[in-house]
């Protein structure tokens, strides 16, 4: 699997957009970018995924650069409940379907 | 209705004991996993099963033995527990092996403490 690099921690003011970057410069053409988050003491929760195009759902938006070497997860209006560790995962589709988690970004939403 | 459920949620036991953690998913998924999250919060895959068959075993000691009686269940049995086994264990499932676009759904974890 391609390695991902994320900042260790970030702060965001409540109500503002949280922009979480991820570098995946060695991504291959058939690898998807997934984002998960883990709120304290809970299981990881799926947020969004994409291949090339930008994606949006009810939780977040995913912006993938044209060269696919980096992406940004955007939480448009961060709330206190968005405080969590956010994981960016690049996944090979044909090697057992597993997800390899890195160290993630610890996002703290500040009141 | 919980999609991926694990029991027990907490487990405290002595070194040397044998214990099991159960996992059930009601999503009709083909693939199930066990992950371990240690004290440093690093989440690492242990096993992956597809349709009751072992697909991935990530250098886990053979004291850990997963058992999949059917597609909806993947239990984890641990023999001769050691202090280093203390961690949070997460079960997960996803729809199909090799499907690139599918996400995994995680249980709420079992916090195992070995004393």
Query: Kindly report the CA angle at A99 between A79 and B95, in degrees rounded to 5?
Result: 95
- The answer to whether A91 and A2 are in contact (CB under 8 A) is no
Residues B20-62 have pLDDT tens digits of: 999 999 999 888 999 999 888 888 889 888 887 887 777 789 9
β strands within B1-115, DSSP E: 4-7, 10-13, 19-25, 31-37, 43-50, 53-57, 64-70, 73-78, 87-94, 105-106, 110-114
For position A100, what pLDDT does the model report?
80
Report CB contact under 8 Å: A98, B105. Answer: no
Give the span between the Cα atoms of B106 and A21, in whole angstroms.
Answer: 24
> Is A41 within 8 Å of chain B by CB?
yes
Query: Kindly report the CA angle at B97 between A37 and A39, in degrees rounded to 5?
Result: 10
pLDDT band at B104; cut points 50, 70, 90: confident
In sequence order, which residues have a C-beta less than 8 Å from that of residue B107 and are 6 or more positions away? A43, B2, B4, B5, B6, B23, B90, B91, B92
The answer, yes or no, to whether residue A2 has pLDDT greater than 80, is no
pLDDT band at A97; cut points 50, 70, 90: low
For position A82, what pLDDT does the model report?
97
Report CB contact under 8 Å: A97, B42. Answer: no
Report CB contact under 8 Å: A93, B99. Answer: yes
Looking at the partner chain, which of B4, B44, B94 has a beta carbon nearest the beta carbon of A97? Answer: B94
The answer, yes or no, to whether residue A75 has pLDDT greater than 60, is yes
Report CB contact under 8 Å: B90, A43. Answer: yes
Q: Is B65 helix (H, G, I), strand (E, B) or coil?
A: strand
Chain B hits for A97, CB-CB cut-off 8 Å, are: 31, 48, 50, 55, 94, 96-99, 102
């Amino acid at each position: 699997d391609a390695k991902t690099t994320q900042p260790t921690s970030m702060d965001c003011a409540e109500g503002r957009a949280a922009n979480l970057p991820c570098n995946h410069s060695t991504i291959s053409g058939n690898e998807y970018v997934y984002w998960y988050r883990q709120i304290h003491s809970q299981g990881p929760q799926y947020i969004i995924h994409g291949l090339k195009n930008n994606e949006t759902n009810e939780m977040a938006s995913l912006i993938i650069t044209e060269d696919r070497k980096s992406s940004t997860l955007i939480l448009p209006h961060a709330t206190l409940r968005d405080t969590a560790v956010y994981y960016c995962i690049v996944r090979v589709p044909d090697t057992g379907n597993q997800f390899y988690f890195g160290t993630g970004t610890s996002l703290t939403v500040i009141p | 209705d919980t999609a991926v459920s694990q029991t027990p949620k907490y487990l405290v036991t002595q070194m040397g004991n044998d214990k099991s953690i159960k996992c059930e998913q009601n999503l009709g998924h083909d693939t199930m996993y066990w992950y371990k999250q240690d004290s440093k919060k690093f989440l690492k895959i242990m096993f992956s099963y597809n349709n009751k068959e072992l697909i991935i075993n990530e250098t886990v000691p053979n004291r850990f033995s997963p058992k999949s009686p059917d597609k909806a269940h993947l239990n984890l049995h641990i023999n001769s527990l050691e202090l280093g086994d203390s961690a949070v264990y997460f079960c997960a499932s996803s729809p199909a092996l090799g499907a690139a676009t599918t996400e995994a759904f995680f249980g709420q974890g079992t916090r195992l403490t070995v004393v």
